[in-house]
């Protein structure tokens, strides 16, 4: 069973600071330029703790991790941050707009008992890189806190927790903030015993799927192991045996998945259109009288109508194409839950088998991807349709992993809404 508990959150004090100025996006989407803006936004912005700046004079005893610990301690002492007196769950809602449609993502924050992946009820779906895990581990070692939540999903058709959240959002939120896109993020405490027990009971037999935050979860596992090796674990109930998660019911409307596109280098000896036509119908997107943005939109409309369809931009022809798979994805040697995913077909069939691509980079924004390809040593951009939430669930339950950057849950949760301090 999933062991889910409320916790005494560390929150910004609205009487001391404005949450609009102190919260930040997740560390993995913050550019160096945006980091500077966050530093200037407020001397109490969470960026100083969660993703601080390196300095020339840094050494083993003075670095961004030691500074993160000092900021956290000082802000608690000054009352900029306050520690809740009783354990709570925290209702968290994001109201946002995408493609002209108003939507909302709603869930709650709680502490979930850590378990080895694949051994119980918590399931990953993506592969991870080592460098981000090292950074996140140092935050845990120095601050002894989860500064940002892991975005997770569960499935409940009964929707008992969802009903509690629906009721709570009618009240005044504890804090509210906006991100750079103007999306509204709001937070409420859930502290009555009855609601807490209903939520715990509903999720006790549910599988939990990590949507965004695989690095943070694997880091939490490593940190717990370090505590065990130091002999600090006595009961198994110590706070570091749990990690902070945002949990959203995938049966609720409001979750959005976006694709991450690939900017690629192709060997000059390879003609991609000639190689790909064996497996794909290649349609050049007509461009006469259209702006480049309109051409891209037409490309996306074309590939969205088909399964295993990709967009392609070639720098040498400065043209956009739609690639429509002719043959079944059985040519991809992967487990059943993976072989029919677009991202698997892209990596295993197009990149590895056909084009022998060794270097590629990721980009969310189609226009920026094309601009980067034109300015860099890239020959093409491949555009994907979004992965489906059902596929995330199926892959996770099968114990498999998608390639990195297969999913992008949108919008991102803000860092600093709640901190789980050990």
pLDDT at position 128 is 66
H-run or E-run covering 130: helix 130-143
pLDDT at 330: 54
Give the Cβ contact number of residue 169 at 10 Å: 14
pLDDT score for 118: 73
207 Cβ neighbours under 8 A, 6+ residues apart: 2, 121, 122, 123, 154, 155, 396, 397
With a threshold of 0.85, does the pTM exceed it?
yes
% of the chain at pLDDT higher than 70 = 97
Q: What is the CA radius of gyration of the chain?
A: 23
Sign of the torsion angle spanned by Cα atoms 94, 100, 102, 106:
negative
Backbone CA torsion sign across 384, 126, 49, 131: negative
Q: Point out the residues of the chain with pLDDT beneath 50.
A: none
Secondary element (H or E) of residue 383: strand 380-383
User: Where along the chain do its domains lie?
Assistant: 4-256+410-421, 260-385
The DSSP call for residue 158 is S
pLDDT at 401: 87
Interacting residues of 89 by C-beta distance below 8 A, sequence separation 6+: 6, 108, 109, 110, 189, 190, 195, 196, 199
User: What is the CATH code for 260-385?
Assistant: 3.30.1760
User: What tokens were used for 131?
Assistant: 């460098």
**What is the torsion angle, in degrees rounded to the nearest 10, for the CA atoms of residue 235, residue 238, residue 243 and residue 249?**
60
């Amino acid at each position: 069973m999933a062991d889910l508990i409320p916790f005494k959150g560390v929150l910004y004090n609205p009487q001391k600071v404005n949450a609009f100025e102190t919260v930040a996006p997740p560390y993995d989407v913050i550019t160096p330029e945006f980091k500077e803006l966050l530093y200037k936004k407020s001397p109490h912005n969470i960026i100083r703790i969660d993703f601080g700046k390196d300095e020339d004079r840094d050494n083993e005893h003075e670095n961004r991790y030691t500074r993160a610990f000092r900021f956290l301690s000082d802000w608690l002492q000054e009352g900029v941050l306050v520690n809740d007196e009783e354990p709570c769950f925290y209702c968290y809602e994001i109201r946002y707009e995408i493609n002209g449609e108003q939507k909302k993502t709603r869930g709650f924050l709680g502490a979930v008992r850590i378990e080895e992946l694949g051994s119980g009820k918590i399931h990953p779906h993506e592969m991870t890189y080592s460098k981000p895990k090292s950074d996140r581990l140092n935050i845990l070692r120095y601050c002894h806190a989860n500064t940002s939540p892991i975005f997770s999903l569960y499935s409940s058709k009964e929707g008992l927790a969802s009903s509690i959240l629906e009721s709570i959002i009618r009240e005044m939120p504890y804090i509210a903030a906006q991100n750079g896109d103007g999306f509204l993020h709001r937070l409420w405490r859930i502290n009555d015993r009855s609601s807490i027990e209903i939520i715990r009971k509903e999720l006790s037999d549910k599988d939990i799927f990590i949507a965004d935050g695989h690095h943070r979860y694997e880091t939490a596992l490593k940190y717990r192991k370090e505590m065990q090796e130091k002999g600090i674990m006595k009961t198994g109930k110590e706070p570091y045996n749990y990690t902070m998660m945002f949990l959203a019911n995938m049966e609720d409307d409001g979750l959005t998945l976006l694709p991450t596109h690939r900017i690629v280098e192709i060997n000059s000896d390879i003609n991609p259109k000639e190689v790909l036509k064996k497996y794909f119908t290649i349609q050049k997107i007509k461009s006469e009288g259209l702006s480049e943005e309109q051409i891209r939109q037409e490309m996306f409309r074309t590939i969205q109508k088909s399964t295993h369809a990709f967009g392609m931009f070639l720098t040498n022809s400065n043209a956009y194409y739609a690639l429509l798979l002719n043959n079944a994805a059985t040519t991809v040697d992967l487990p059943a839950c993976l072989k029919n995913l677009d991202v698997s077909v892209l990596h295993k069939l197009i990149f590895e088998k056909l084009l022998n691509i060794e270097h590629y980079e990721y980009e969310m924004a189609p226009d920026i991807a094309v601009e980067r390809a034109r300015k860099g040593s890239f020959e093409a951009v491949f555009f994907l349709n979004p992965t489906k939430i059902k596929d995330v669930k199926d892959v996770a339950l099968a114990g498999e992993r998608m390639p990195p950057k297969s999913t992008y849950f949108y919008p991102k949760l803000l860092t600093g809404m709640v901190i789980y301090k050990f």
